[in-house]
Amino acid sequence: MKDGDIIQNVAVYLGAADVAEPLYRQAVIDLAVYLAKHKMTLVFGGSNTGMMKLLADTILENNGKVIGVFTKSLPERLLRHDLTEAVITENLAERKAEMLRRADAIVALPGSIGTLDELFDALAQKKLGLINCYIGVLDVNGFFDPLFELLQNSRNIGFTSERTLDMLRSGKTPEELFQKF
């Protein structure tokens, strides 16, 4: 995407765990409200549990659109059935590819290894020119600070270029992050 392009579909990577910490729950709600208010469609993992459920609930409550990309390898009881659109893939690799195919922008919220896997997969594909979308993290309570320290260390040693580092944006609020896109 180029500066000035309209962001219509936002793939959001986040954990499916049900985190009790109010700060992280509020960040999910704030992002959902922002996306719905700006008429951006959410593309997410399609799960009806934890933080993913909170994200989809909030967007739907605010009259937003939600596309869930779910995989057959997960139990069907986890699939959310009230989405604008549901896409079922054969496996996680196809799920990631489908989410990337639909995304104008990618936002990662705090999560675990699945979230980080999706984020790094997107960055690697962007570096190779296979996708062309904005990529960023919503840095709640400094969650991603160690990641940026690691990437900076990798750049200092010579493994990572400044151009590659510039592909990943960060914001503490949805407004700040989307301004950087």
pLDDT at 5 over 90: no
What is the pLDDT at residue 18?
Answer: 86
Predicted model pTM:
0.90
| In contact, 130 and 121? CB cutoff 8 Å | no
Domains of the chain: 9-180 (3.40.50.450)
Helix spans in 7-112 (H): 22-37, 50-61, 92-102
Only one residue has tokens 């151009």, namely 163
What is the pLDDT at residue 72?
Answer: 82
State the Cα–Cα distance between residues 20 and 68, nearest whole angstrom. Answer: 23
| In contact, 132 and 1? CB cutoff 8 Å | yes
Percent of the chain with pLDDT over 70: 96
18-77: per-residue pLDDT in tens?
Answer: 887 899 999 999 999 999 999 999 999 888 888 999 999 999 999 999 999 988 877 677
Tokens of 30: 């704030």
